[in-house]
């Protein structure tokens, strides 16, 4: 449908209009006398609805189209935008971590589950010394991934984080993409909240350096 | 009494007890599998090959579970009620010929515990006594849901005993005997001799009543999980609950055999093929119990009573009258 049509459709809330999508359900009048009730019973009994039901379930049994996912062995595919346990990405060029220690994720975190501590290293660059996420508090809202200017902290697809205690901390080293994964070139970019949109390269404009 | 006869009878009783107790367990396996397949699920798959050992796992669990007798229940009645259900189910099997007689090591075996001349009356009577299981369990349980279930159970059983009795009266008039073996002999001539052709109405009525007698799904309101929890079984745990279960499934098997014997020719001429035929027919009726559970909704108790007294009973009486007029 075109945009205008959708707009019109949403604006038209007049349920009495003939061409609207609302219609009265066709309910036959209930029988009041004995003979009418008897006729209804006969109709329902001999219309074979019971046998239709029997046939439907038997058909499904013969087709044997099983929909069960045997969970621990098989898993449903999850979307690339799924927001599960966080990941910390590395730069493709140098394999160093993307995180610059700006602390925005800690600031924006609405459940106060991120703690970041930084110091200046010998090159006077900020270095992350402590970074932990309390998964027991995290509500997986995705704000940290959205606010991250470097696309460093993202959500991953690991959703099996059941544990025997409420507090379960994730530290920087656990979240960081392993180096061997970088070497193999299999680090996956997050497509969800805060990620760059597709075809971003075509839309980006050069920084005017003239002035 | 002859010693050989005594030994034979005891062996037959033990065999029936063991086979049908085991079948009750395997029946639950088949029920879960069939229902699962009909609902596009897999059913039990993890315990043993194809989940077959699930039965054993359930059995171990039931046997080793603590036997809890809650406070405020009427202890003795609470304890004896599941035994009544299981015992009456197996007692009813005494008059059912499960196979044609065969010769084993030169000794002729009749696979029926007692061929009494009032076989059908006995089976119906004992199945009627089975009512005391749910009734006493529900009344002794000190639980409102159990009490509701007991009241429903009493109403349903008493009403549908009428249907079973009246619907069977017409075939009994035709055969002139109450023994299931005589019924079988009457239909031994082949498919065309089956009583279902001459008494289709009685067949349908008895089949419907069988669902009420065993408390299976269209009439599952005695232990209707979604409104009265497990009905009379709510307060039970462990093997006492297991006895209810065994009784229910044994009843389903026995009534399947009775249906096949009375209306569908039983084991026919007594050949091997006939014996196989009886098992296949009984298996079909058992499968149908599971099938309807997947396909049909439950009726309300008042609808059940209405169906019994205002529809089925008049039809049964008319059927008897027509049969009598035709026979005259």
- Are the C-beta atoms of residues A113 and A188 closer than 8 Å to each other? no
Is B105's pLDDT higher than 80?
no
- Beta carbons of A61 and B45 less than 8 Å apart: no
Is there a contact between B295 and A50 if contact means CB atoms under 8 Å apart? yes
Query: Is A70 within 8 Å of B42 when comparing Cβ atoms?
Result: yes
Q: Are B299 and B218 in contact (CB under 8 A)?
A: yes
CB A53 to CB B295 under 8 A?
yes
The string of pLDDT tens digits covering residues A142-194 is 899 999 988 889 988 888 888 888 888 888 888 888 888 888 888 888 888 87
User: Would you place residue A50 in the very low, low, confident or very high pLDDT band (cuts 50, 70, 90)?
Assistant: confident
Q: Which residue has the higher pLDDT, B23 or A5?
A: B23
Q: For residues B116 and B271, what is the distance between their CA atoms, to the nearest angstrom?
A: 23
The Cα of B311 is separated from the nearest Cα of chain A by a number of Å equal to 10
Nearest residue of B to residue A65 by CA position?
B40
**Is the predicted pLDDT of residue A1 greater than 50, yes or no?**
no
**Averaged pLDDT of chain B:** 85
Q: Where are the domains of chain B?
A: 3-149+172-190+231-295
Neighbouring-strand partners of residue A116 = A131
Tell me if chain B has a CB within 8 Å of the CB of A53. Answer: yes
Q: Do B34 and A61 touch (CB under 8 A)?
A: yes
Residues of A in contact with B38 (CB under 8 A): 57-58, 60-61
- Which residue from B83, B73, B78 is spatially nearest to B143, judged by alpha carbons? B73
- Residue B200 predicted with pLDDT over 60: yes
Is the model's pLDDT at B115 over the cut of 80? Answer: no
Contact B42 A68 (CB under 8 A): yes
Whether the CB of B311 is below 8 Å from some CB of chain A: the reply is yes
Q: pLDDT confidence of B318, banded at 50, 70, 90?
A: very high
Residues from chain B contacting residue A48 (CB–CB below 8 Å): none
Task: Choose between B110 and B179: higher pLDDT.
Answer: B179
Domains of chain A: 3-63 (no CATH), 86-196 (3.30.70.3270)
Q: Which of helix, strand or coil describes residue B245?
A: helix
Strand partners, B221: none
- Helix intervals (H) in A33-89: 34-46, 49-63
- Check pLDDT > 90 for residue A110: yes
Distance CA B258, CA B97 (A): 9
Determine phi and psi for A132, rounding to 5 degrees. Answer: -140, 145
Burial class of residue A136, CB neighbours in 10 A (0-12, 13-18, 19+): middle
Q: What are phi and psi of B184, to 5 degrees?
A: -65, -45
* Structure-model confidence comparison of residues A33 and A197, the more confident one: A33
Query: CA-CA distances (angstroms) from residue B53 to A69, B15, B47, B204?
Result: 21, 22, 5, 36
Which residues in chain A touch residue B39, judged by CB atoms under 8 angstroms apart? Answer: 57, 60
Copy the structure tokens of residue A18.
């003939």
Query: Would the pLDDT of B16 be above 50?
Result: yes
Q: How far apart are CA A86 and CA A145, in angstroms?
A: 9
- Residue B7 or residue B102, greater confidence: B7
Instruction: Residue A50: count other Cβ atoms within 10 Å of its Cβ.
Output: 15
Report whether B184 contacts B261 (CB < 8 A): yes
Structure tokens given for B155: 């109403």
pLDDT reading at B247 higher than 90: no
How far apart (Å, rounded) are the C-alpha atoms in residues B117 and B181?
9
B39 part of contact set with chain A, CB < 8 Å: yes
Written as one string, the DSSP assignment of B46-94 is: SSSGGGTTHHHHHHHHHHHS-----TTS-HHHHHHHHHHHHHHHHHHGG
Mean pLDDT over all residues of chain A? Answer: 83
Model pLDDT, residue A207 = 76
């Amino acid at each position: 449908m075109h945009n205008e049509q959708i707009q019109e459709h949403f604006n038209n809330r007049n349920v009495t209009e003939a061409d609207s999508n609302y219609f009265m359900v066709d309910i036959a009048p209930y029988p009041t006398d004995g003979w009418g009730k008897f006729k209804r019973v006969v109709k329902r009994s001999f219309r074979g609805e019971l046998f239709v039901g029997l046939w439907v379930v038997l058909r499904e049994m013969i087709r044997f189209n099983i929909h069960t996912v045997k969970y621990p062995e098989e898993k449903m595919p999850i979307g690339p935008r799924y927001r599960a346990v966080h990941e910390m990405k590395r730069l493709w060029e140098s394999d160093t971590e993307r995180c610059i220690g700006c602390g925005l994720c800690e600031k924006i975190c609405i459940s106060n589950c991120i703690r970041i501590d930084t110091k200046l290293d010998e090159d006077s660059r900020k270095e992350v010394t402590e970074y932990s996420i309390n998964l027991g508090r995290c509500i997986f809202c995705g704000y940290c991934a959205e606010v991250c200017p470097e696309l460093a902290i993202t959500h991953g697809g690991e959703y099996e984080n059941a544990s025997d205690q409420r507090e379960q901390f994730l530290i920087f080293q656990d979240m960081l993409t392993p180096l061997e994964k970088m070497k193999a070139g299999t680090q996956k970019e997050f497509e969800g909240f805060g990620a760059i949109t597709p075809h971003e390269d075509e839309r980006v404009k050069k920084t005017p350096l003239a002035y | 009494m002859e010693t050989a006869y005594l030994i034979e009878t005891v062996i037959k009783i033990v065999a029936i007890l063991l086979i049908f107790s085991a079948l009750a367990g395997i029946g639950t396996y088949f029920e879960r599998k069939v229902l699962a397949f009909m609902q596009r699920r897999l059913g039990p798959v993890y315990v043993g090959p194809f989940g077959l050992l699930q039965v054993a796992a359930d059995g171990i669990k039931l046997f080793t579970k603590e036997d809890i007798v809650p406070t405020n229940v009427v202890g003795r009645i609470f304890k004896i009620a599941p035994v009544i259900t299981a015992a009456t189910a197996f007692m009813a099997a005494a008059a059912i010929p499960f196979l044609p007689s065969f010769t084993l090591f030169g000794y002729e075996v009749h696979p029926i515990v007692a061929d009494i001349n009032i076989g059908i009356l006995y089976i119906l009577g004992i199945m009627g006594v089975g009512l005391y299981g749910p009734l006493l369990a529900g009344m002794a349980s000190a639980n409102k849901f159990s009490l509701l279930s007991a009241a429903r159970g009493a109403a349903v059983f008493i009403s549908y005993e009428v249907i079973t009795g009246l619907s069977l009266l017409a075939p009994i008039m035709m055969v002139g005997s109450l023994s299931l073996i005589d019924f079988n002999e009457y239909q031994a001539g082949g498919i065309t001799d089956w009583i279902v052709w001459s008494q289709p109405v009685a067949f349908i009525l008895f089949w419907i009543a069988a669902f009420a007698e065993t408390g299976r799904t269209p009439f599952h309101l005695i232990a209707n999980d979604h409104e009265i929890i497990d009905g009379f079984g709510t307060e039970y745990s462990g093997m006492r609950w297991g006895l209810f279960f065994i009784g229910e499934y044994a009843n389903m098997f026995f009534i399947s055999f009775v249906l096949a014997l009375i209306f569908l020719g039983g084991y026919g001429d007594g050949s091997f093929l006939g014996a196989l035929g009886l098992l296949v027919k009984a298996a079909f009726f058992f499968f149908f119990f599971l099938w309807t559970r997947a396909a049909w909704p439950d009726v309300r108790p008042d609808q059940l009573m209405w169906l019994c007294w205002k529809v089925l009973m008049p039809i049964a009486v008319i059927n008897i009258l027509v049969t009598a007029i035709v026979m005259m």
